[in-house]
Amino acid sequence: MKKQWSKEEIKLLQKLYPTASREELSNRFGRSYNTIADKAIRMGFRRPRKGPEWSPSEIKTIKKMAATKSVSQIAKALGRSPGLVSLKVSEMGLKTPKPNYWSKDEIKLLKKLYPTKTAAEIASRLGRSVLVVRGKIFEIGLKKYKVAR
């Protein structure tokens, strides 16, 4: 039979849950951590998320790239996930171009390469996914013409 939570226990859980260790919580409440976490989540209590530390050089790179590069491009340069980079960019109060932003130079290169290169080759050259490159090809209406033999 499940042990009911008292009002006092819920108040204490709300106070301790964000910072206490799993072991401390289990000892304090005499319940498994999973039971405690389940109750805390159902009550809307959260533990702060703590991601990996950022080096000064990574911070510098983000500041340098944020104005002109997408989150995905910055993430690739740093070897971090786009989600972590997006969070850090936001924490730093910076803005990046829209994810599908294409510079004039990128579009010019796409138009130049498209007649002779595959979408995969172009994507590799631009540092973009094949799917995004194909989407841009379709969006701007590029066509490959067959050469008469």
Is the distance from CB of 17 to CB of 40 less than 8 angstroms? yes
Radius of gyration of the chain (CA): 25
Tell me the average pLDDT across 76-101. Answer: 83
Is pTM beyond 0.75 here?
Answer: no
Q: 43: which 2 tokens? A: 């009550």
Say how far apart CA 95 and CA 97 lie, in whole Å. 7
Output helix, strand, coil percentages for the chain, rounded to the nearest 5. 55, 0, 45
- The 10s digit of each residue's pLDDT in 67-86 is 888 888 898 899 988 888 88
The secondary structure of residue 18, as a DSSP letter, is: T
Tell me the average pLDDT across 123-131. Answer: 86
- Residue extents of the structural domains in the chain: 7-42, 56-91, 104-140
Residue 1's pLDDT band, with cuts at 50, 70 and 90, is low
Tell me the average pLDDT across 107-123. Answer: 92
Residue 99's pLDDT band, with cuts at 50, 70 and 90, is low
Q: At residue 61, does pLDDT exceed 90?
A: yes
Give the type of residue at 61: T
Q: At residue 98, does pLDDT exceed 70?
A: no
